[in-house]
Amino acid sequence: MDAGIIKENDLIFLVLDERRRWLVEVKAGDSFHTHRGIIEFDDLIGKPFGTCVFSKPYETQGYKFYILKPLASDYILFMSRKTQIVYPEDAGLILIYSGIGPGSTVIEAGCGSGALTCILGNFVRPNGHIYSYDIREKSLKRARINIEKANLNEIVSIQYGDIILDEFNYRNVDAVVLDMAQPWKAVEKVKGYLKLSGILVSFSPTIEQVKKTTFAMRENNFFEINSYELLKRRIQVKESATRPEVRMIGHSGYLTFGRKVENIENPYQEKKPEKEEFINLDGMPLKS
């Protein structure tokens, strides 16, 4: 079936206006109730994404709703969650700077509600896999529900596990993504899971976490260690008053990246002389 056509069990992004929008699953014979009327899912199945429908009853409601195909940012912002999220701009940087893509194998520690997990799962399709862990049962339960809604059960594995204490049987993983309270304690262990040139990513809300994680990565010979903070400001466009919006997210978190390398001691430039070298300048003409 055409991927651009809405079918049962699809996730749709239902938009009424700037503030009222929902990420919902299409179920045949079911409906979605809002304060602006009812959307019948049977009216959507078979229609293309990008269309619009009107809420029932038409005589007393009849409001226009747009039916869009969910983007990665929609998963993050509108998926059911209870924990702090990784915002779309941070998720984008994770994907670009980690090289995660089709066929990648990724370990995620700290899945939370599974929003970032869904993004990673969509990008490693069709042959990659996300192995996601958390130590909080409530997070695991919610993440599993969201992964199922996103139809990613074959791409994502959600499991209980402590990446600091537990031993996992992984080798040659493309990337490890950490979203946890003490990521520096996991650095030495996850280094063994990564392939050479593989990427370690750590998301932390405070600079103290960044410092400890960076020092741990240096001690474990990670290469190209860099930390970033992204700020996104939306522009309000009007006929004669275009300017940045007053409200914005001032801080989301810090992202630290590093690459696993084989650190071989240089036998040439770092070679020390066998005897202490001494140059005698006696009798040589010197400029005053």
pLDDT at 52: 93
Give the residues across from 234 on adjacent strands. none
Give yes or no for residue 46 having a pLDDT over 90. Answer: yes
Cα(171)–Cα(19) distance, integer angstroms? 45
Give yes or no for residue 59 having a pLDDT over 60. Answer: yes
Instruction: Domain ranges for the chain, please list them.
Output: 11-68, 72-260
- The pTM of the full predicted model, rounded to 2 decimals, is 0.78
Percent of the chain with pLDDT strictly greater than 90:
67
| 11-68 and 72-260 have identical folds | no
pLDDT at 3: 72
- The answer to whether 169 and 227 have CB atoms below 8 angstroms apart is no
- Looking at every residue in the chain, the average pLDDT score rounds to 90
- Give mean pLDDT, residues 261-268: 85
Give yes or no for residue 79 having a pLDDT over 80. Answer: no
Residues 109-153 have pLDDT tens digits of 999 889 899 999 999 999 999 999 999 999 999 999 889 888 899
pLDDT at 56: 93
Please report which confidence band the pLDDT of residue 267 belongs to, taking 50, 70 and 90 as the band edges.
Answer: confident
3-state DSSP call for residue 68?
Answer: strand
DSSP string, 80-111: --SS----HHHHHHHHHHHT--TT-EEEEE--
Which residue do the tokens 């339960």 mark? 141
Give yes or no for residue 53 having a pLDDT over 60. Answer: yes
Residues 6 or more apart whose Cβ sits within 8 Å of residue 5: 46, 47, 48, 49
Assign domain 72-260 to a CATH class: alpha beta
Fold of the domain built from segment(s) 11-68: Vcp-like ATPase; Chain A, domain 2 (3.10.330)
Instruction: Choose between 218 and 9: higher pLDDT.
Output: 218
